[in-house]
Amino acid sequence: MSVTDTSPTAAGETSAPLLEISNLAKHFEMRAGALKLTRLVLKAVDDVSFSLQRGETLCLVGESGCGKSTVGKLILRLMEPSAGAIRIDGDDVTHAGGAALRQFRRRVQMIFQDPFASLNPHLNAGTIVGEPLENYNLYNARERREQVAALFARVGLRPEAAAKFPFEFSGGQRQRIGIARALALSPDLIVADEPVSALDVSVQAQVLNLLVDLRDQLGLAYLFISHDLGVVEHIAHRVAVMYLGRIVEIGDKRTIFSRAQHPYTQALIAAAPVADPRVKRDAIVIEGDVPSPLDPPKGCAFHTRCPFAFARCSQETPLLTRRGDGHLAACHLDMP
Ligand code: SF4
């Protein structure tokens, strides 16, 4: 069982979390061999625990295939977890169905990676943004139009854009439509899965700044999934690093970027481009590919790539242990 992180708010205080994830797991059973007699278990997410405060941004980072998007889908209840619990304001919604799930979905919305694929090409932008209000039977037709106009203004789109179709917008404008749709039901939490990675670099900063402004104005919490450490440094309050389905380090952004304890985190940060040429980062290089999650290494799952691995690492799985205030890492070493 992993240690549940303590979660200071953006203001540095600790309060009851908006979202609490405890020992969450998603395992897929597979059959291998000519007669499909060999049973394999793929642990896409394993024993993941964290909490999220109102107004806070927790970034989930790691290489592709590390399980970060699966965590997002589990929280959105797009997948059933194999184990663990999801609580919002203390209410257990892990297996909620019917009206309780519908209510939960009002409070937790999503922004997708690909702003084009996520918008119905046959509907105009106004209809797309107003659809959640219609689905939840909120407001009459005139009020809905007013709400949609207000949402367009909030994300920096002109009111006349409501009559246009997705193909008539740029990538950045399409992502603004996706953001407006996510805001329509006034959620408390938005799960954003690589929301700027499909955009031109010049547009990424504009969309990121919009997300930061909306968070600060509306008190939104974000679970922000990204492989881009530059983006994470811009938006995160806290950072959780995943490797082969598990969180290997979690802490506030400043601590993670300046005093990371896990060699994997250190390597990710060392590999990230730095905008300021005066900033030097120690070069920790990891080699090789991520091992197959169907046959993860015994002991520390990172030991096959870790430059600091020693005998114990291949025998014993390191647990998340406290390294400071709200800072946890899963490594047998105690880094300075
Ligand atoms: Fe490296 Fe060992 Fe720490 Fe794993 S436990 S990260 S292999 S030093």
* pLDDT digit string, tens, across residues 14-42: 568 999 999 999 999 988 777 788 888 99
pLDDT at position 35, please?
77
Atom of ligand 1 nearest to the CA of 301: 4
Q: Where in the chain is the domain with CATH 3.40.50.300?
A: 54-75+97-236
Per-residue b/e over 237-257, b at no fewer than 16 CB within 10 Å? bbbbbbbbbbbbbbbbbebbb
CATH of domain 54-75+97-236: 3.40.50.300
Residues 6+ apart with CB under 8 A from 323: 251, 261, 329
Centre of ligand 1 to C-alpha 263, Å, is 7
Q: Is 299 in the pocket of ligand 1 (CB under 6 A)?
A: no
Q: What is the pTM of this model?
A: 0.90
User: Chain-wide mean pLDDT for the chain?
Assistant: 91
214 or 117, higher pLDDT: 214
- Per-residue pLDDT band for 8 (boundaries 50, 70, 90) equals very low
Q: Reduced to 3 states, what is the DSSP secondary structure of residue 171?
A: helix
- Per-residue pLDDT band for 5 (boundaries 50, 70, 90) equals low
Amino acid symbol at 144: R
Give the position of tokens 């106009």: 149
Using a pLDDT cut of 70, give the percent of the chain over it.
92
Joined together, the tokens standing for residue 325 give 């205030």
Joined together, the tokens standing for residue 331 give 């490594």
7 or 298, higher pLDDT: 298
CB 232 within 8 A of CB 239: yes
Per-residue b/e over 174-202, b at no fewer than 16 CB within 10 Å? bbbbbbbbbbbbebbbbbbbbbbebbeee
Q: Is the pLDDT of residue 195 over 60?
A: yes
Q: Is 284 in the pocket of ligand 1 (CB under 6 A)?
A: no
Q: Is 10 in the pocket of ligand 1 (CB under 6 A)?
A: no
pLDDT at position 59, please?
98
